[in-house]
Chains A and B, each alone.
Chain A
Amino acid sequence: MRHVVFIGASALLAGLLSAALLPCARADSSSEVAEELKEMRKTLGEMRQSLENQNELIQKQQARIDELERQIKQPAATPAAPSGPMPAPPAPAKGSSLPGVIGSVLPEIGLLGDLVATSSQDGADGDGNDRFSAREVELIVGGYVDPYSRFDATFAFSDSEAADIEEAYLTYWNLPWDLKGRFGRFFPKIGKTAGIHRDQLSTVDEPIVIRRYFGAEGYFRSGADLTGILEGPGGTVLEPTVGVLEGGIGEGAATFGSTRRRPTLYSHLKAFKDLTEASNLELGISHLVGSSDADAAFEVNVLGLDATYLNHLSPSTKLKLQGEFYLQHRDEAFGIDSTTGATTQFDRHPWGAYLLADYKFAPRWGAGLRADHARLIDTAASRHADQGLSAFVTFYQSEWARWRLQYRHEERASSKEDDAVFLQGTFAIGTHKHQLQ
């Protein structure tokens, strides 16, 4: 570019000189010639100055272009070594967020792996016992259907069980009194542990009372429920829920019969209070009524109480104290299996509870204890109650990966005692989004 400018300028000067000098040679008056030459010299001087100014400007612009080209070519993560005070860094790449536009119309998809290695005295070839197990892999899909509703589904896969639909429900918001409704298959809001996914547990396994009364993977049924949220007295927040669920109960539990067409009605009231900006207390009461067999009578009532104290002691440490208590009232002292005809004697007022302390004492480390006691519904066993004590340590590898080591001692109603050690790895990829508890 600079060469072109110089050649152009030289040609212009030559042209001007020849055009100016030729007429001079033919002039009759030497004084007129001298005057003209003087005028032309002045003009040439002005033109030379203008040309020099333009050259200077071009050189500055070229230097700026060179600098910009150097910045584009230079990788962002390899800054030049500083020697003394440096100029302000060039602005990093700026732009808009096209991925946000695309992401907003695609469903949220997440995959969660729950891998467990167990070593136990129990000789049964059960779910992951004395082996490594892909206990559960959850595929979580969800998204807004329209301005009034959202659809969420969770598919569970395991290396020891068939694939299952844990959740597939529509949430609908536009109901009277600001109620929120769910319709489909979901975890009902019962207590604190029966209604959450395994990856949300503080321990590797569910408390005994949850396993025995609601199921080894928690309690999820098809049905519908309505939830409200309102201000209560004394700065509390109240969240009442009522719902109707299909009959039956979770894996390995015996609270209700297996007939799914006999519904279970449930209700839950949560009372929450912020104690400080970092601590809070939550109390809950749950009630379920359902059938223990295939007839239409509601023979089983379950009352549940739960309490959770949470304190974020610092931005990276947290203490959770939690307890749940369940009491059943069963109208029938005997149950008859509809398929086998076998008769089972029931305890009419079985109860169970657990207490849990979970302390995240460092940004990446936590530890806790859990104590369990649950009287069995089936009274055939000799000791009449399962009880246990667990201790666990959690290592948070990152936001999406967690390891947990747990020791559990159980004294079972069947007179067996069992010591077990679990090593659990929980890993999440994609959008992992469960509803707030």
Chain B
Amino acid sequence: MRKILAGLLVLIAAQEPTPFVWGAAPLRVVTTLSTFADLVKQIGAEEVEVTSVAPPRFNPHFIEPRPSDVLKVKKADLLVHAGLDLEVWKGPLLDAAGNARVFPGQEGELDLSIGIPLLEVPDRPLSRLMGDIHIYGNPHYWLEPENAKIMAKAIAKKLSDIDPAHASAYQKRLAEFLQRLDQRLAGWRKISAAIRGKETVAYHNEWPYLAEFLGIRIEQFLEPKPGIPPGPKHLGFLEEYMKTRGIRVIVQSTYFSRAASEALAERTGAKVVTLCQNVRELPEASDYFSWMDYNVNQLVEGFKASP
């Protein structure tokens, strides 16, 4: 026993902090969400090898990281995540991987929420009585395409910082991405002008950034409180609410059960519009631009179908 303990102590004492060494091989980037992975790929191209942890068709709040995810993070040069309190599973994943390069505050970590103008930042004491509230503000900021500019710039800067040999390539691709994004932004604004000012009801409070961009209102949700499944009483209230206000569209993401939304739609004559929270959530949303195209078109068509 004494020998074992002595051996362990020698092992620990012999270690120096591991210096960061960035080789010529592609940077190994792990992102929590598939949307971030696509943005990293747009900027990093062949200079990066990017994978994501959360399967896009699952609710990003409740992912169960697998040993294969632990291995990915353990080998990662850079971890890109949403920050705030979206990925509650990120802490145990980081602890299991034990890769100090990507720990919070280290060079290999990028929190994309930094610099984002957050919505719904609490201005009063919080309690679980309010449901699964987000203590730092609504974390679904990547759905606002204007924020993609901030995220893309942050990604390009981080890649340039840790891989200066390819900095010019990252900056060139960033410029191309921003130019393309500006063109598409104008298109999305033009398409969505017809629905500006309209109101919809959503299953979960995960669309405020997209709603702000499109100029639509979302005041009520099928979940009576965040994370609390809808019950009959609340659905009854929503039925009255929608009928009173003439709301004809219910919005939800793919990973929530459609049963409650369908039932409410049947009682109110509304249409259920399924949107994607992340790239690759549906085959039609295969990259950042097609994903935004899909969401904007779905909403516009949804309102058209239920005037």
Residues in chain A within 8 A of chain B (CB atoms): 77, 79, 81-82, 85-89, 91-97, 99-100, 103-104, 108, 144, 147-148, 150, 171-176, 178, 180-181, 183, 224, 229-231, 237, 239, 244, 261, 263, 270, 272, 274, 277-278, 280, 282, 312, 315-316, 362-364, 398-400, 429, 433-436
Contacts and interface: CB of A to CB of B under 8 A. Distances in A.
18 contacts: A79-B217, A82-B245, A95-B118, A96-B121, A97-B137, A147-B103, A174-B18, A175-B12, A175-B15, A181-B12, A183-B8, A229-B70, A231-B71, A237-B71, A274-B66, A282-B67, A315-B57, A436-B65
B219 interface: yes
A81 B96 CA distance: 51
Contact of B135 (A79, A99, A108): A99
Given A181-B8, A433-B92, A94 B98 contact: no
Interface in B96-131: 96-100, 103-104, 106, 113, 117-123, 128
Given A86-B197, A97-B113, A436 B217 contact: no
Contacts of A178: 74, 98-99
A98 to B, nearest CB: 9
A364 B74 contact: no
Given A79-B219, A96-B118, A178-B74, A91 B212 contact: yes
Nearest to B96: A436
B67 to A, nearest CB: 4
B91 interface: yes
Contacts of A171: 95, 98
Contacts of B164: none
Contacts of A263: 1, 4
7 cross-chain pairs, A with B, having the tightest CB-CB distances, nearest first: A315-B255, A88-B215, A95-B121, A97-B136, A173-B98, A272-B67, A86-B197
A79 B212 CA distance: 15
B199 interface: yes
B98 A315 contact: no
Given A88-B197, A100-B136, A363-B229, A174 B59 contact: no
Contacts of A87: 197
Given A93-B119, A95-B118, A237-B70, 7 more contacts: A86-B197, A97-B118, A147-B17, A181-B8, A237-B71, A263-B1, A400-B128
Nearest to B123: A93
Nearest to B111: A100
B2 to A, nearest CB: 10
Contact of B257 (A174, A183, A316, A433): A316
A263 B74 CA distance: 31
Interface string B204-245: 000010011001110100000001110000000000000011
A282 B113 CA distance: 35
Contacts of A434: 92
B67 A399 contact: no
Most buried by B among A89, A176, A224, A400: A89
A244 B74 contact: no
Contacts of B14: 176
B149 interface: no
A175 B11 contact: yes
Given A274-B68, A277-B55, A433-B92, A99 B136 contact: yes
B227 A172 contact: no
B219 A150 contact: no
B119 A436 contact: no
B202 to A, nearest CB: 14
A244 B4 contact: yes
B254 interface: yes
B217 A85 contact: no
Interface string B54-67: 01011100100111
B210 to A, nearest CB: 13
A363 B227 CA distance: 12
A174 to B, nearest CB: 5
B246 A82 contact: yes
Contacts of B136: 97, 99-100
B119 A92 contact: yes
B84 interface: yes
B217 A237 contact: no
B199 A82 contact: yes
B121 A436 contact: no
Contacts of A91: 119, 212
B93 A436 contact: yes
A231 B67 CA distance: 10
Contacts of B255: 315-316
Q: Which of A178, A280, A362 has the most chain B CB atoms closer than 10 A to its own CB?
A: A178
B104 A104 contact: yes
A142 to B, nearest CB: 9
Nearest to B211: A89
Contacts of A150: 95
Most buried by B among A104, A272, A364: A272
A435 B96 contact: yes
B21 interface: no
B262 to A, nearest CB: 14
A150 B91 CA distance: 11
A435 B4 contact: no
Contacts of A272: 66-68
Contacts of A81: 244-245
Contacts of B135: 99-100, 103
Contacts of B120: 92-93
Interface string B1-24: 100110010011011011000000
